[in-house]
Structure 1
Amino acid sequence: MHDTLTWRPLTPEDAKASADLLNAIETVDRIGENYTEEDTLQELVDPYADLERGSLAAFDGDVMAGFMKIRFKPSADEVHRVFLDGGVHPAHRRRGIGTALVQAGVKAAKVLHELHHPASKLAVDIHRPERIAGLAELARSQGFVPVRYFQRMEQPLSGALGAPAIPEGLRVEPWSERNDEDFRLVRNAAYRDYWGAVPMPVELWRNKITNQTFRPEVSFLLREVATGVPVGMLVTMYWEADTEATGVRDAHFMAIGTLREYRKRGAASALMGYALRVAAGQGYDRASLTVDSADAAGASGVFEKAGFVPTMRYVRWALEV
């Protein structure tokens, strides 16, 4: 079977073929992920995706039948958690392509790990929705085990939203070129407590956050008035391909964080309430976010209090190498 396919590493020129593959996968898996060519190109030029050493794609003529891509971390402490992403075209499933890609991904992860963080332990992670048919069987067959669960949560923005109560001594300001670095630094400080998170260098921030899906008009910073110190941030993303496919304009809160000393004081709730009101005023139909089910800071409770309800669970599968 493999002899009928062409196998090679991904390149940025594969952006359209990647988008076509992922959109074909969405027609079957129905996980709410739709892509434009620009979206997949952004993934292919990720500064922490070494395509030559850490990717592999199978082609049936000009059609991408499947792919895998490794993303290593810019830094690591005790454990270096490498992400293994990928997928197989519905017309090519149950033919061993997924198994071959996962095995190639584990080998590539070992190579990149030795190049970048050899002093740390290596864990290869797969992060996908729980309901994808066949994924659990494939992951378990290759030695992966579930280590964490994440929940997508959503809130419709059809009702009237009142003005949020901003804690005394704090003010909200929109994203701008001037305060972009404050956003990044607050994110890094706030996410220091988050499982598996590492600081985002400037080049990764630009690739993953302030890219074509970033919505600065619905992204806000919380700053202490007396000192000028930034203490919280919320970043919103929007995917045009999702709206084209569903008719729903979704404001996705990609990152929400407050400094540890400002937690339990209403800062996160104020940021969310402010962003929800702005998003509703700008014609978004829904807000969404993803939360770690085991988050020690109790973020799930904060989001539920704000009106978000669980809609889909993700599993983090891990293989310790």
Structure 2
Amino acid sequence: MREGPLTWRPLTREDAQASADLLNAMETVDGIGENYTAEDTLQELIDPYTDLARASLAAFDGDVLVGFMKIRFKPSAEEVHRVFLDGGVHPGYRRRGVGTALVEAGVAAAKVVHARQHPTLRLAVDVHKAERIAGVPELVRSQGFVPVRYFQRLERALGDALPAVVIPDGLALEPWSPENAADFLATRNAAYRDHWGSAPVTLDSWQNKITNHTFRPEVGFLLRAGTDGAAAGVLVALTWEADAALTGIRDAHFMIVGTRPDHRNRGVASALVAHALRGAAEAGYDRARVNVDSPRPSGRSGLFERAGFVAARSYVRWAFEV
């Protein structure tokens, strides 16, 4: 670590390796279970809804990236446009004002992007961070952010005594294939339409965030009605090879688990989760993970608890509303 001034500029897609190096350095101290390759970070830098030129900022010490922020906006919104402010600071450069500068720049950039995308709506800037990262609550509170949602990462080892798969009457399981790929996206959007903070996912965003190099089609399933052929629910899993390389544990992260409103309370999600657990175990995964959210810190998920998942890590969604 040098004592001289830092260099500041927007991020570019050429910063993929530097971004991975920074995030992995942060992980050595924060211990939130997230490891990255340059391929992972490049996927975020080429996100079609991240405007790097107008809404990102990186701090460099020589050639070393020591802090960054970037804004992700939504292509569609109703009433409130929730943008996501992501960022972090190298452990060796914390408590030097870098984080404060990045958050302030992030809020300003969010206003610029919001004015271009959804100027007639209200703006909310969201920050999502693990509870265990020291200094984050003090930093975001000092900038006017308040907690609005609470998340739990749940985990389950894929050993013996996996739950039985009970398929609701009139429905049939269907694995992912190129022929039904469009149904996965459509079912996700229908299932998440009334979820907190959710917005319809566009095809280009789906391809960037879901069906990229982390996508695991062998752990992707629909439940489809036999009468009209409409999908009732969907489950999609991803995995990050950098995590497996470091820990020796292959995780199947259930990124999307959703049921269409007209099929809820029939056991659709339970059937999908039970089937995916068995599918992941047969495919050689060691553990399943899923994130669930709640309006309260003590929120629980009966569905995943019944399937044997236990809480592993807590997160807070902070928001600054303009």
1:236 Cα offset (Å): 0.2
- Report what 1:16 is aligned to: 17
Contact 1:157 1:276 in 2 (8 A): yes
1:4 Cα offset (Å): 1.4
Task: Provide the C-alpha distance between the structure 2 equivalents of 1:96 and 1:127, rounded to a whole number of angstroms.
Answer: 20
The alignment status of 1:289 with 2:294, answered yes or no, reads: no
Contact 2:218 2:283 in 1 (8 A): no
- Report what 1:172 is aligned to: 173
What pairs with 1:143-292 in structure 2 (closer than 5 Å)? 143-161=144-162, 163-292=164-293
Q: For residues 11-55 of structure 1, give each alpha carbon's deviation from its aligned partner in whole angstroms, at most 9, with x where no partner exists.
A: 000000000000000000000110000000000000000000010
Q: For residues 117-151 of structure 1, give each alpha carbon's deviation from its aligned partner in whole angstroms, at most 9, with x where no partner exists.
A: 01110010001111110000000111101111011
Amino acid at match of 2:134: A
Amino acid at match of 2:274: G
Count residues in correspondence. 319
Task: Provide the C-alpha distance between the structure 2 equivalents of 1:146 and 1:27, rounded to a whole number of angstroms.
Answer: 26
Q: For residues 198-244 of structure 1, give each alpha carbon's deviation from its aligned partner in whole angstroms, at most 9, with x where no partner exists.
A: 00010000000100000001110110012111111000000000011
- Report what 1:303 is aligned to: 304
Contact 1:163 1:277 in 2 (8 A): no
- Report what 2:53 is aligned to: 52
1:246 Cα offset (Å): 1.1
Task: Provide the C-alpha distance between the structure 1 equivalents of 2:4 and 2:180, rounded to a whole number of angstroms.
Answer: 53
Task: Provide the C-alpha distance between the structure 1 equivalents of 2:264 and 2:303, rounded to a whole number of angstroms.
Answer: 11
Amino acid at match of 1:280: A
Contact 1:54 1:109 in 2 (8 A): yes
TM-score (norm 2): 0.97
> Unaligned regions of 5+ residues in structure 2, if any?
none
Q: Which contiguous aligned blocks of 4+ residues in structure 1 show a shift greater than 3 angstroms?
A: none
Contact 2:163 2:307 in 1 (8 A): no
Q: For residues 48-93 of structure 1, give each alpha carbon's deviation from its aligned partner in whole angstroms, at most 9, with x where no partner exists.
A: 0000001000011111010000000111111000100000011111
RMSD between aligned alpha carbons?
1.4
Taking a change above 3 Å as real, the CA distance of residues 2 and 264 of structure 1, as seen in their structure-2 partners, is: farther
Task: Provide the C-alpha distance between the structure 1 equivalents of 2:55 and 2:179, rounded to a whole number of angstroms.
Answer: 35
Task: Provide the C-alpha distance between the structure 1 equivalents of 2:300 and 2:95, rounded to a whole number of angstroms.
Answer: 39
TM-score (norm 1): 0.97
What pairs with 1:31-180 in structure 2 (closer than 5 Å)? 31-161=32-162, 163-180=164-181
Task: Provide the C-alpha distance between the structure 2 equivalents of 1:303 and 1:291, rounded to a whole number of angstroms.
Answer: 9
Task: Provide the C-alpha distance between the structure 1 equivalents of 2:199 and 2:95, rounded to a whole number of angstroms.
Answer: 36
Taking a change above 3 Å as real, the CA distance of residues 109 and 208 of structure 1, as seen in their structure-2 partners, is: same
Contact 2:71 2:85 in 1 (8 A): yes
Task: Provide the C-alpha distance between the structure 2 equivalents of 1:294 and 1:264, rounded to a whole number of angstroms.
Answer: 21
Contact 2:129 2:317 in 1 (8 A): yes
> Unaligned regions of 5+ residues in structure 1, if any?
none
1:2 Cα offset (Å): 9.4
Taking a change above 3 Å as real, the CA distance of residues 3 and 122 of structure 1, as seen in their structure-2 partners, is: farther
Q: Percent of counterpart pairs with the same letter?
A: 67
Amino acid at match of 2:75: P
1:152 Cα offset (Å): 0.7
- DSSP-derived class of the 1:86 partner: strand
Task: Provide the C-alpha distance between the structure 1 equivalents of 2:40 and 2:161, rounded to a whole number of angstroms.
Answer: 32
1:163 Cα offset (Å): 4.4
Taking a change above 3 Å as real, the CA distance of residues 266 and 97 of structure 1, as seen in their structure-2 partners, is: same
1:160 Cα offset (Å): 3.8
Task: Provide the C-alpha distance between the structure 2 equivalents of 1:304 and 1:161, rounded to a whole number of angstroms.
Answer: 12
Task: Provide the C-alpha distance between the structure 2 equivalents of 1:9 and 1:107, rounded to a whole number of angstroms.
Answer: 14
Taking a change above 3 Å as real, the CA distance of residues 250 and 95 of structure 1, as seen in their structure-2 partners, is: same
Report the more deviating stretch, 96-105 or 281-290.
Answer: 281-290
Task: Provide the C-alpha distance between the structure 1 equivalents of 2:148 and 2:275, rounded to a whole number of angstroms.
Answer: 34
